[in-house]
Chains A and B, each alone.
Chain A
Amino acid sequence: MTLHDDIDTYLAADLHNELSADEQNKLHAHLVECATCRKLHQETKSMNNILEENLAAEKADPTFEQRMLASFRNRIPQRSGGLTKLIFDLMRLRSAQVTAVAAVLLGLVQVGRMVTGEGAAPARKLGYRDEHHFADRQLNAPFQRSADHSSAQASQLAAGRADALIASEENSFASAPAAPMTQGEKDKIIATEDRREFATKMAKAASAEAALAAQAKPAETPAVVANRKLIRNANVELEIASFDDVVQKITAFASEDGGFIATTSSNKQANGKLRGAVVVKILPENLDRFLQKIRGLGELKNQTLGTEDITKAYFDTDARLKNARVMEQRLIDMLKTKTGKVSDLLQVEKELGRVREDIEKMQGELKFWDSQVQFATVTISLAEKDMEEPAAFLLKERAQLALYAPDVEKVYNDIKALASPKTQITNAQLDRDNTGRVSARLSILIAPEESDAQIARVKTMGRVDNFQVQTERVAQGGTGMSQNARTKRDKVELNITISREEQEQAFQQTSLRIRTSAVDQKSKELRTLTEKQNGRVRSSTFSRDPDGREFANVSLRVPMKNYPALMESLNALGKVENVSVQRQDRTGAQIDEANAPADLSIQVYSQGNIVSHQSGLLATLRRTIAQSAGAIMWSLRMIGVAIAFLAPWVIALVALILIAKRVAQARRQR
């Protein structure tokens, strides 16, 4: 593009002084040559002038900035800004932005998970419930069947107990087709629970029916028994007050109902209670009456009734027996005729023996069945009440003893020396840590008869800080309470802890000051006094300060019983000041107060001699100058004060004199 084509740009830039020197030269050269551009140059110049003139009028006025500021302040009120500034700064940080985005994403994910998780849970529940319903429906069919079954049973057992029914029903349910359905374990359990519930309901109904049947039956039963062979037996479990009484009563009942006692057995428990079993044979037709009577003897725990129908087997055996008899007769006839070979006869003899054996076996079987059918068997298990009552109690004693002793090791060895067959040391431990603190722990088992004596002996070995005895009664061979159980003392377990006296906290703390002139000597005296009172100095310090004052800090410990005597003797050392006593009363603790330690911290001090150690000539001079300078300053201040007091009066006086002079002058002139 040539300069001529782009003349507008060059002209504007020229007017605005934005052309480089080179460009300027070129433009001017062109303007010399080109008339059109010259004209444009002229026009642009005047245009520029117009703009400069006109737009200058439109410029913002001088107060513009002030207005802007004022409106800004108005619209954005000054705030404390601490928090907002922080937030702004945070928003500017890239890491903060990234964190915020991450947090939002994480939150979204969590929300999503929650939503989907909650969505899934009810769905699962729903499915499960459906299955459950399905199971119920499936179960109904066997229930119907078993209901029929149980009512049949109820009519069969005249006075049957519900428990027995439940048991048998539960068995039948276990093999019901519904049980092995393709469901989870849980479903199965629920199903069995449902069944159980159903069974109890059914059992109630059945027992009601049974009660009805019991009223109707007695007349019918003998007829049934007449042509059927039924073996009846019953198991009864009773809880009773006294075994022997009940056995007597059972004997009486049995003979009343045409029965007898087959066997009795009993054994005695450790706590003197009897447990046993009685087997009674009773006529089947009287069985129900007999059971009713027995129930009155004690608390019925359990009862089962069983009936076995052996009619078919019995008559089979009977027929076979008859056949065998015929066979026997025929063989006997054969032998009587005695025709044939000897070997044949031997064969017949052998056969006869076998047949007779069979006959005897079958006769025995029939006899056994007859006896079984003739008498029903009732097994009565008897247990006296409170079988669980404990037979004996064991008193376990556990003692904790904490001792303070000046020499832990010695006491430790003394206690160890107590060992004997009746005093056994089960555990002994002596600890010494790197700061020289010694403590020991011992566990001892002491035979009950020696325990008190041994504990008392151990107690004398040191100062007892703490003694606890814990007794526990442990029931043996049962639980609960018993009035006639024996009580036995077990071995006493004694745990001993021994600590050094130093570690013991003082029972009483006293601090005081003694003023004296000879600190060193008096503190030595204090030491001997302490030893006289059976105490010990635990620490002592001595110091002298620049003014020549001396201090000795002595802390010592005495037994409480010697404390008053020591306090008394302190008066001999000097003037006792600032006594403060702090006592720690441990409420409820039984403590050996006479031997409890009392701590004293004593400061022995002297009034320093006032003479300073700075006694040279220069020092004296300096002090003198300092003092005199102080005195001058003081007097200056006083003078100032005096002037302040007097000045107004002086001024007033001078003024008065001046006025008086003027007045006098004026009079004279007149």
Chain B
Amino acid sequence: MMDANEREIYRAAIHGDRDAFEMIIRTHSRTLFAIAYGILQNREEAEDAVQDALVKAWKSRWRVRNPEKFPAWLCMIARHRARDVFRKRPRVSQTDLEGVAAATPTIYAPDVANTSASLDRQLHSALAELPDLHRSALMLRYFEEMDYASIEKLLGISNGALRGILGRALASLRKQLRPALASLE
């Protein structure tokens, strides 16, 4: 399952070994960032969320009983933290966002829409439509190139369910971006 060395590091961190915990920060903060970014879709906010999550994890590390669950637990904290940030975000009403999204194609000329900037914007609005679990899974896959099993473990998804999630996520994105894709080809 998990190699003994890694396990020992988690155990030490749980028992208050700062060096071990910093080691975990080095190895895991990117995945945490991916998860937070998946939820927040904003780099600065995601970074803050990861920082908060790490501090919180350090303070309540004694709650973890099984060292093997430590990474999953970290991810959970990061996810909760990101959701909190998302909820506390000064509300830009949904209609406004849609208005902006709807307005863009009319403002820019069709050939401008073909540019990568436009595609980028469309991609983000399509991502925003997805459930945040799907987004987090996508980010872990595309940021960190993790295999399905690891992602499942980190996100606490049952074995084999990730396939369906990613499949549906990709299909949904594909449908949203079909015009852009068509024009790209």
Residues of A with Cβ closer than 8 Å to B?
A: 6, 8-13, 15-16, 18, 40, 43-44, 46-48, 50-52, 54-56, 58-60, 64-65, 67-69, 71-73, 75-76, 78, 81, 84-85, 88-89, 91-92
Query: Does B163 sit at the interface, judged by CB under 8 A?
Result: yes
> Mask for B12-25, Cβ within 8 A of A = 1, else 0?
00111010001001
Decide: B55 and A76 in contact? CB cutoff 8 A.
Answer: yes
B 40-76 contacts with A by CB, 8 A: 43, 47, 50-51, 54-55, 58-59, 61-62, 65
**Alpha-carbon separation in the docked complex, A48 to B119 (Å):** 14
Contact of A55 among B30, B143, B174 (CB under 8 A): B143
Instruction: Assess the B170–A8 pair: CB atoms within 8 A.
Output: yes
Q: Are A60 and B142 in contact (CB under 8 A)?
A: no
Interface contacts beyond A12-B171, A64-B29: sample of 9 additional A-B pairs, CB < 8 Å, sorted by A? A9-B164, A43-B181, A44-B170, A51-B138, A65-B25, A72-B58, A73-B22, A84-B16, A91-B62
Evaluate whether A78 and B61 lie within 8 angstroms (CB atoms) in the complex, with A58-B37, A68-B54 already known.
no
A75 touches B174 (CB 8 A): no
Residues of chain B within 8 A (CB-CB) of A68 are: 25, 29, 47, 50-51, 54
The CA-CA distance from A91 to B62 in the complex, in Å, is 7
Contact between B33 and A64, CB atoms less than 8 A apart: yes
When chains A and B are docked, how far (Å) is the Cα of A71 from the Cα of B49? 12
The answer to whether B166 touches A46, judged by C-beta atoms less than 8 angstroms apart, is no
Decide if B168 touches A55 in the complex (CB within 8 Å): no
Q: For residues 142 through 185 of chain B, which have their beta carbon under 8 Å from a beta carbon of chain A? A: 142-143, 147-148, 163-164, 166-171, 173-174, 177-178, 181, 184-185
Task: For B65, give its contact among A9, A56, A60, A92 (CB under 8 Å).
Answer: A92
Interface size on B, residues (CB 8 A): 48
A-B contact list, 12 entries, CB within 8 Å: A8-B168, A9-B166, A12-B171, A13-B163, A43-B181, A51-B123, A54-B123, A68-B50, A72-B51, A73-B22, A75-B51, A85-B15
Interface of B is mostly: helix
Q: How far is the CA of A9 from the CA of B62 in the complex (A)?
A: 39
Q: State the CA gap A9–B18 with chains docked (Å).
A: 42
Contacts of A50 in B (CB 8 A): 119, 123, 177, 181, 184
The reply to whether A88 and B16 form a contact with Cβ atoms under 8 Å apart is: yes
With an 8 A cutoff between CB atoms, is B120 at the interface?
A: yes
For residue A11, which residues in chain B have a CB less than 8 angstroms away from its CB?
A: 167, 170
A92 to chain B, nearest CB (A): 5
- B54 and A56 contacting across the interface, CB-CB below 8 Å: no
Is the CB–CB distance between A18 and B147 below 8 Å? yes
* A13/B174 contact (C-beta < 8 A), A72-B54, A88-B61 known: no
Chain A positions within 8 Å of B170 at CB level: 8, 11-12, 15, 44, 47-48
Instruction: For the complex, give the distance between the alpha carbons of A56 and B116 in Å.
Output: 14
Contacts of B141 in A (CB 8 A): 16
Query: Are the CB atoms of B30 and A65 closer together than 8 Å?
Result: yes
Q: Collect the chain B residues with CB atoms within 8 Å of residue A46's CB.
A: 181, 184-185
Tell whether B39 is near chain A: CB-to-CB under 8 Å: no
Number of A-B contacts (CB under 8 A): 123
Interface flag for B26 (CB, 8 Å): yes
Using A51-B142, A55-B142 as known contacts, say yes or no to A92 and B62 having CB atoms under 8 A apart: yes
Task: Answer whether residue B77 sits at the interface, using C-beta atoms and an 8 A cutoff.
Answer: no
Q: Which of A18, A47, A76 is most buried by chain B, counting CB atoms within 10 A of its CB? A: A47
Contacts of A55 in B (CB 8 A): 138-139, 142-143
Do residues B143 and A72 form an inter-chain contact, with CB atoms below 8 A?
A: no
A89 to B62, CA, bound (A): 7
Contact of A78 among B18, B25, B59, B119 (CB under 8 A): B18
Taking a contact as CB atoms closer than 8 A, the residue among A43, A56, A73, A85 that contacts B16 in the complex is A85
Q: Report chain B residues within 8 Å CB of A12.
A: 163, 166-167, 169-171
Expressed in whole angstroms, the minimum distance between the Cβ of B25 and any Cβ of chain A is 5
Give the residues in chain A near B14, CB-CB below 8 Å. 92
Q: Separation in Å of the B53 CB from the closest CB of chain A?
A: 10
Taking CB atoms, residues of chain A closer than 8 Å to B16 are: 81, 84-85, 88-89
- Please tell me if the beta carbons of A88 and B29 are within 8 angstroms of each other in the complex: no
What residue of chain B has the Cβ atom nearest to residue A92's Cβ?
Answer: B62
**Residue in A closest to B22 when the chains form the complex, CB atoms:** A69
The listed residue with most B CB atoms (<10 A of its CB), out of A43, A68, A76, is A68
Closest chain A CB from B143 CB (angstroms): 5
Q: Which 9 A-B pairs have the closest CB atoms?
A: A9-B167, A8-B171, A8-B167, A12-B167, A55-B142, A85-B16, A68-B29, A12-B170, A88-B62
- Complex: chain A residue closest to B122, CB-CB: A50
Q: Which residue of chain B has the shortest Cβ distance to A72 in the bound complex?
A: B54
Q: Roughly how many angstroms separate A125 CA and B168 CA in the complex, as a whole number?
A: 79
Residue of A nearest to B42 (CB): A58
Distance in Å from the Cβ of B16 to the closest Cβ of chain A? Answer: 4
Compute how far the CA of A244 lies from the CA of B65 in the bound complex, rounded to whole angstroms. Answer: 105
Q: A18 touches which one: B37, B163, B181 (CB < 8 A)?
A: B163
Query: Which residues of the other chain, A, contact B167 by a CB distance below 8 angstroms?
Result: 6, 8-13
**Interface centre among A10, A43, A91, by most B CB within 10 Å?**
A43
Q: Which residues of B contact A51 (CB under 8 A)?
A: 123, 138, 142, 173
Q: Is the CB of B61 within 8 A of A47?
A: no
Q: How far is the CA of A56 from the CA of B123 in the complex (A)?
A: 13
Q: How far is the CB of B33 from chain A (nearest CB, A)?
A: 5
B54, chain A: closest CB distance, angstroms: 5
Residues from chain B with a CB closer than 8 A to the CB of A48 are 170
Contacts of A72 in B (CB 8 A): 22, 25, 51, 54-55, 58
Assembly CA distance A8 to B134 (angstroms): 14
CA distance A15 to B43 in the complex (A): 27
Residues of chain B contacted by A60 (CB below 8 angstroms): 29-30, 33-34, 43, 47, 143
| Nearest Cβ on chain B to A91's Cβ, whole angstroms | 5
User: Could you tell me if B174 and A44 are in contact, using CB atoms closer than 8 angstroms?
Assistant: yes
Chain B 91-131: CB-based contact to A (< 8 A → 1; otherwise 0): 00000000000000000000000000001100100000000
CA of A48 to CA of B143, assembled, Å:
13
Which one, A44, A56, A69, contacts B142 given CB within 8 A?
A56
A44-B174, A64-B33 as given contacts; A59 in contact with B143, CB under 8 Å = yes
Across-interface contacts of A75 in B (CB, < 8 A)? 51, 55
Contacts of B33 in A (CB 8 A): 60, 64
User: With A12-B163, A51-B138 known to touch, is A89 a contact of B30 (CB < 8 Å)?
Assistant: no
In the complex formed, the residue of A with least CB distance to B162 is: A18
Closest Cβ of chain A: how far from B144's Cβ, in Å?
Answer: 9
Complex CA gap A51/B37 in Å reads 15
